[in-house]
Chains A and B, each alone.
Chain A
Amino acid sequence: MIRFEAASKTYPDGTIAVDALDLVAPSGQITVLVGPSGCGKTTSLRMINRMIDATGGRILLDDQDIGKVEPAELRRGIGYVIQHAGLFPHRTIIDNIASVPIMLGRKKKQARADAMELLERVGLDQKFAHRYPVQLSGGQQQRVGVARALAADPPVMLMDEPFSAVDPVVREQLQDEFLRLQGELGKTIVFVTHDIDEAIKLGDQVAVLRVGGRLAQMATPAELLSNPIDDFVANFVGRDRGYRALGFEVVGALPLEPEPTVALSSSFDQAARAAQDGWILVLDDARRPQGWLAVDDGPAPGSEAINPVTLRRGGTVADVDGTYRAVLDAALSSPTGRGVVVDRDGAFAGTINATQVVELIESRGVAS
Chain B
Amino acid sequence: MAKGGGGAMIGQVFSWLTDPAHWRDTALDTGITTQLLAHVRFSLIALGIASAIALPLGLFIGHTRRGTFLVAGANALRALPSVGLLVLLTVMIAPHFHGRTDIGYVIPTEIVLVLLAIPPILSNTYAGVDTVDPAVTDAARGMGMRGRQVLFDVELPCSLPLILSGLRSATLQVIATATIASFVPLGGLGRFIYDGLQQQDYPQMIGGGVLVAALAVTADLLLALLQRVTVSRGISGRFATKGDAPAGPIEGAITRVEVEAG
A residues within 8 Å of B by Cβ?
Answer: 49, 51, 72-77, 80, 82-92, 99-100, 103, 131-135, 145, 148-149, 158
Contacts and interface: CB of A to CB of B under 8 A. Distances in A.
B138 A82 contact: yes
Nearest to A86: B139
B27 interface: no
A134 B251 contact: yes
Nearest to B243: A135
B196 interface: no
Interface stretch (B12-20, B46-54, B227-235): B227-235
A77 B142 CA distance: 10
A36 B62 CA distance: 33
Given A86-B137, A89-B252, A91-B232, 13 more contacts: A49-B142, A51-B142, A80-B139, A80-B142, A88-B139, A88-B140, A89-B136, A90-B158, A99-B143, A132-B232, A132-B233, A134-B250, A134-B252
B207 to A, nearest CB: 44
B139 A87 contact: yes
B154 interface: yes
B138 to A, nearest CB: 6
A51 B253 contact: no
B253 A76 contact: no
Nearest to B234: A132
B146 A72 contact: yes
B237 A134 contact: yes
Interface in B122-144: 133, 135-144
A144 to B, nearest CB: 11
7 contacts: A51-B138, A86-B136, A86-B142, A89-B133, A131-B244, A134-B253, A135-B244
Nearest to B252: A89
Contact of A89 (B144, B158, B239): B158
Given A132-B233, A135-B244, A86 B251 contact: no
Contacts of B237: 134
A124 to B, nearest CB: 16
Nearest to A84: B135
B209 interface: no
A148 B246 contact: no
Interface of B: 133, 135-146, 149, 154, 157-158, 232-235, 237, 239, 244-246, 250-253
Q: Which 10 A-B pairs have the closest CB atoms?
A: A132-B234, A86-B139, A76-B144, A90-B232, A80-B142, A86-B135, A75-B144, A90-B157, A84-B135, A72-B144
B197 to A, nearest CB: 49
A88 B154 contact: yes
A99 B252 CA distance: 21
Nearest to B146: A72
A4 B47 CA distance: 54
A213 to B, nearest CB: 21
A133 B135 CA distance: 13
A362 B136 CA distance: 52
A149 B133 CA distance: 19
B234 A92 contact: yes
B149 A133 contact: no
Nearest to A132: B234
Nearest to A92: B234
Contacts of A84: 133, 135
Contacts of A88: 136, 139-140, 154, 158
B138 A103 contact: no
Given A89-B232, A90-B234, A135 B142 contact: no
Contacts of B135: 82-86
Contacts of B138: 51, 82, 86
Contacts of A86: 133, 135-140, 142
A89 B234 contact: yes
A134 B234 CA distance: 6
Contacts of B146: 72
Nearest to A51: B142
Contact of B143 (A76, A83, A132): A76
B139 A82 contact: yes
A51 B157 CA distance: 23
A133 B143 CA distance: 18
A89 B141 CA distance: 15
A125 B253 CA distance: 26
Contacts of A90: 154, 157-158, 232, 234-235
Contacts of B143: 75-76, 80, 99-100, 103, 148-149
B142 A75 contact: yes
B131 to A, nearest CB: 12
A103 B149 contact: yes
A147 B70 CA distance: 41
A60 B253 CA distance: 42
Given A88-B136, A90-B157, A133 B144 contact: no
A138 to B, nearest CB: 11
Nearest to A76: B144
Given A89-B133, A91-B232, A134-B237, A72 B145 contact: yes
B179 to A, nearest CB: 38
